[in-house]
Amino acid sequence: MMKPLFRALISCIALSAFLAPAAMAVTSSVKPVYYVPTDKSWSFSDFHGVQCGVRNVQRWYSRELFNDNARFDKVITYYGNYSSNHCLNVNMGDCIADVVNGTGIDPWTNDKYRAKLLIIGRGFQGWAGGTGDTAGHGYAVVGAESLVAQSECAGNWWCNQEVWNGTVIHELGHTFSLPHSADPNSIMGAHSDFENKHFTAGEPSTVATDPATPTKDPNWTRCEFDEQCASNRCGCNGGNTMYCLPHSGYPKYCSSGSIPNWEHCRNDSDCQSGYCAPDHRGEYACLPHTGYQYCPNTDIFIP
Ligand SMILES: [Zn+2]
């Protein structure tokens, strides 16, 4: 069920569609779509903000899942056929259908390639809801203002990036079939304080059964942070490239000043440029100079 945050914070209900397991291997991923309604315009800074926010959510899932990562596709923009007022106040279902029809991403298809459709709507304000199952299907809808345009939602308690992160994590949890939790430590009982909230009890194992959560990356895969690696260890082994390292016998430090632009980094001193910061994907990388500020207004959460 979809309910605006400002009416009822955690009253959205996860509706599970129970489907027979497919015989063949199924792949699924979270497919983020930035919805720009007819009365709103697109900007690089908003779009980068959305990418950086989505990246935070992906990192959180890597932290919370024991053996898996959540698979996310790149954020795409969809120019909608409805106004933000129509979506927010008249019929959100029209706008969801607009995305499905316009992008071809059907969250309920039973193809081998399935989708957790994540609609991030400009002008959707505090709207937040999600539903899905553990067979790779589902969708969630959230507003963008609390992430990228706080001046347009000022005065609402949810109007900040920290709550946006927690809200998307929570609604995506519903797309993995998770119900609400009474555990004060579970993100499924809250939208705030996401860095200190977790998946608790059986929540991680439920999410891990979904084809949208493949196993963590094997040794010597290129990496950005520890939790994406099966070894829980990402580093340079003294060189200039970050890999998932087999064990603590392989040092994490990078050769000082050795990493070229656009490659993952740990610290400023690792980079040829002397500048390690979130890039346009919200991933930490060596950037040419401090003039590159892709996530200037979006705190990036590093597990
Ligand atoms: Zn909920």
Strands 138-143 and 127-132: antiparallel
C-alpha 66 – ligand 1 centre gap (Å): 23
Helix, strand, coil fractions of the chain, as percent rounded to 5? 25, 20, 55
C-alpha 252 – ligand 1 centre gap (Å): 38
Mean pLDDT of 122-147: 98
What is the Cα–Cα distance from 240 to 260, expressed in whole angstroms?
8
pLDDT digits (tens, 9 = 90+) for 219-270: 999 999 999 999 999 999 999 999 999 999 999 999 999 999 999 999 999 9
C-alpha 97 – ligand 1 centre gap (Å): 21
Q: Do 123 and 131 contact (CB within 8 A), yes or no? A: no
What pLDDT shows up at residue 205?
98
Q: For the beta carbon of residue 300, count every other beta carbon within 10 angstroms.
A: 16
Q: Which domains does the chain have, with CATH numbers?
A: 2-18+25-208 (3.40.390.10), 217-303 (no CATH)
Q: Do 284 and 277 contact (CB within 8 A), yes or no? A: yes
Ranges of beta strands (E only) in 51-124 are: 76-79, 113-121
C-alpha 199 – ligand 1 centre gap (Å): 13
C-alpha 257 – ligand 1 centre gap (Å): 45
What pLDDT shows up at residue 270?
96
Mean pLDDT of 126-146: 98
pLDDT digits (tens, 9 = 90+) for 252-261: 999 999 999 9
What pLDDT shows up at residue 165?
95
Q: Do 166 and 192 contact (CB within 8 A), yes or no? A: yes
> Would you give the distance in Å from CA 56 to the centre of its chain?
6
pLDDT digits (tens, 9 = 90+) for 273-284: 999 999 988 899
C-alpha 132 – ligand 1 centre gap (Å): 12
What is the Cα–Cα distance from 254 to 233, expressed in whole angstroms?
13
C-alpha 284 – ligand 1 centre gap (Å): 30
pLDDT digits (tens, 9 = 90+) for 74-102: 999 999 999 999 999 999 999 999 999 99
What 160-163 contacts at long range (C-beta under 8 Å, 24+ apart), as own/partner pairs, is: 161/53, 161/297, 161/298, 161/299, 162/192, 162/193, 162/194, 162/299, 163/191, 163/192
Which of 68, 18, 51, 13 is CA-nearest to residue 199? 68
C-alpha 239 – ligand 1 centre gap (Å): 44
What is the Cα–Cα distance from 285 to 288, expressed in whole angstroms?
10
C-alpha 177 – ligand 1 centre gap (Å): 11
C-alpha 27 – ligand 1 centre gap (Å): 25
C-alpha 139 – ligand 1 centre gap (Å): 13
C-alpha 47 – ligand 1 centre gap (Å): 25
The string over 147-172, giving b where at least 16 C-beta atoms fall within 10 Å of a residue's C-beta and e elsewhere, is bbbbeebeeeebbebbbbbbbbbbbb
> Which pTM value belongs to this model?
0.91
Q: Which range is least confidently modeled, 172-176, 185-189, 297-301?
A: 297-301
C-alpha 60 – ligand 1 centre gap (Å): 17
C-alpha 180 – ligand 1 centre gap (Å): 6
State the greatest distance between any 2 C-alpha atoms of the chain, in Å, as a whole number: 59
Strands 27-36 and 113-121: parallel
C-alpha 10 – ligand 1 centre gap (Å): 5
pLDDT digits (tens, 9 = 90+) for 31-70: 999 999 999 999 999 999 999 999 999 999 999 999 999 9
C-alpha 5 – ligand 1 centre gap (Å): 10
